[in-house]
Amino acid sequence: MDLNFSPEDEQFREAVRGWLEDALSGEFAALRGRGGAGDQGELIEERKAWEKALGAAGWLGLSWPKQYGGRALPLTQEVIFNEEYARANAPGRLGHIGETLLGPTLFAFGTEAQKARFLPKILSGEEYWCQGYSEPGAGSDLANVQCRAVLKDGQWEITGQKIWTSMAEWSEWCFALCRTDPNLPRHKGISYLLVPMNQPGITIRPIEQITGGAEFAEVFFEGAKTAEANVVGGVNGGWKVAMGTLAFERGASTLAQQLSFANELDAIIALAKENGAAQDPLIRQRIADAWAGLRIMRLNALRMLTQMEGGVLSREAMITKLYWATWHRDLGELAMDVLGDDGILQAGDALHPLQRLFLWTRCDTIYAGSNQIQRNIIAERALGLPRGPR
């Protein structure tokens, strides 16, 4: 395993760093440090303008193939971009669902017409996407989706409910898993539909979170429509497409988040020094553990990178989500213990950024596959243990 970046990679790093520094000192200075954990629903219009600026400067779709408007850069450079992005404290991304989930899914399963219609507007920051998988009765057990889609007069008509749909309110499009044949076995009767969000048949009801924000929502489909051609992977072929998208979510797109974690740990250490918590031997030990955990995540990410040359995630990649989610949840608890009495909430008080971090990190072990589900995946797919009861 070669742990060093090449001279070209380092040159690329300089270019990214310079651009981010300029942009975030000028027009977009107010966005520095915004839109992160627990703050995702803020400054939406300003962050959309930022996404457009990223697109215009060629920073979106770095690893996308050239024929789809990407730059076909190696994964190492995509990681470098994300590292520098976090180091610069650049704003939380709004376009990541389109760029890192739907884009790669369309390369693998989309028709040429779908690629031509949807990919350019992801790259230009003009259209935003949300992921319509979960329903009240289908989360970990995703194959239980009940949202129905029926073909009528050349259009899909959709009826049902999705829940926990991140960014639904600010997205132009949703990729939704819908049941298109209830008579087939459950994995086989599902289609992956691309649905426009701004239409009368869709009602979006934001769900307020413990942080006070509302970045996700319930989405109700009552005769919502989408064109017949907006099905990815064929009618009733949605399960394999959905699993493809999840592999992107659980794998490559989580590679470089450690730098933003490092920023959070730095803030905790600074506070511990300032308020004296750093004198407490147990706090010191937990800070050291957190620091070591960050290094382990980085080494594991580099190991994944070297093993992912063919674009396929290795067995080792399967521990990534479980590891970072658990680490980040623990970091939130450490933040509260360092805050001490200042962590106690009083009605009407604005949240301290570390309180917000703590509240937000409660969800890390749930979304994109809960810790229990990750353990099942590791047991069955990485270690080859027998399947547990379902």
Ligand X SMILES: Cc1cc2nc3c(=O)[nH]c(=O)nc-3n(C[C@H](O)[C@H](O)[C@H](O)COP(=O)(O)OP(=O)(O)OC[C@H]3O[C@@H](n4cnc5c(N)ncnc54)[C@H](O)[C@@H]3O)c2cc1C
160 sits in which H/E element: strand 155-166
Q: Are 192 and 106 in contact (CB under 8 A)?
A: no
173 contact partners, CB below 8 Å, separation of at least 6: 98, 118, 127, 128, 129, 130, 194, 195, 196, 197
CA-based nearest residue to 355, from 258, 257, 211 = 211
| List 169, 215, 249, 264, catalytic entry | 249
State which residue, 81 or 327, has the beta carbon closest to ligand X. Answer: 327
Q: Which residues here bind ligand X, judged by CB under 6 A?
A: 130-134, 139-141, 164-166, 216, 363, 366-367, 370, 372-373, 376
Known catalytic residue at 249: yes
Contact predicate 320/314, CB 8 Å: no
Pick 189 or 369: Cβ nearer ligand X: 369
Smallest gap, in angstroms, from Cβ of residue 189 to ligand X?
Answer: 18
CB of 134 to ligand X, least distance (A): 3
- Burial of 373-382, coded b for 16+ CB within 10 Å and e otherwise, reads bbebbbeeee
Closest approach, Cβ 142 to ligand X, in A, equals 7
> Rg of the chain's alpha carbons, rounded to an integer?
21
State the nearest-atom distance from the C-beta of 315 to ligand X, in Å. 20
DSSP state of 100: I
**Rounded-to-integer distance, Cα 331 and Cα 286, Å:** 9
Q: Which residue, 132 or 238, has its beta carbon nearer to ligand X? A: 132
For residues 5 and 367, which CB has a smaller minimum distance to ligand X in the complex? 367
CB of 191 to ligand X, least distance (A): 15
Residue nearer to ligand X on the CB measure, 65 or 206: 206
CB neighbour list of residue 319: distance below 8 Å, 6 or more residues apart = 300, 378, 382
Residue 313 to residue 377: CA distance in whole angstroms: 13
Q: How far is the CB of 140 from ligand X (least distance, A)?
A: 3
Per the CB < 8 A criterion, the answer to whether 192 and 258 are in contact is no
* Closest-approach residue to ligand X (CB): 139
How far is the CA of 380 from the CAs of 175, 373, 385, 387, in angstroms?
Answer: 28, 10, 5, 6
Q: Looking at beta carbons only, is 81 or 133 nearer to ligand X?
A: 133
Tell me the catalytic residues: 249
